[in-house]
Amino acid sequence: MTRLAKRSNTPLLFIALTLLMIGCERTETPSTRTANQVSDWDMNISEAWVRPTKAGMMSAAYFNLSNQGATADTLVRASSTVSDDVQIHRSYQKDGLMVMEEQPFVDIASNSVRNFAPGGYHIMIINSTIDLTEGDEIPMTLFFSSGMILEQMMPVRLQP
């Protein structure tokens, strides 16, 4: 995982290079903070997985978002190269039915973990442009109101 102190107008090339770097370093271990790496931002993605699907169909990404920093932050957007339409969603029970709704944002309080899981918050991949097959990995980018951008390769697999 990489933390980028960049706004969403980051040049595309920079993102592409970052994705290459992430591809070489696929550990989910949060980086440790040392005295010369002090930052207000300490947000980590763990246990990510993406549902397999076929091109033209929907999928969803799930993970835990852990904010170990002293400052609250807000997830405001998600994107992935596999779809032009990636949305923040939440599923919930309504009149005995499971429904889901797009969310404009999701708050992550300081020192808290927000679970994105089936039946709750998730990242909806509308109309994947490619088949997502078990064993694949797809890039996911999460944008926060602080300006922080998290990018992570997420494995495609059946529900763990």
- Select from 63, 64, 122 the least CA-distant residue to 98: 122
Report, in Å, the least distance between residue 82 CB and Cu ion: 15
* CB closer to Cu ion, 1 vs 65: 65
* Interaction between residue 57 and Cu ion (CB under 5 A): no
Report, in Å, the least distance between residue 105 CB and Cu ion: 15
* Interaction between residue 125 and Cu ion (CB under 5 A): no
* Interaction between residue 72 and Cu ion (CB under 5 A): no
* Interaction between residue 100 and Cu ion (CB under 5 A): yes
* CB closer to Cu ion, 100 vs 153: 100
Chain residues binding Cu ion by CB under 5 A are: 89, 100, 124
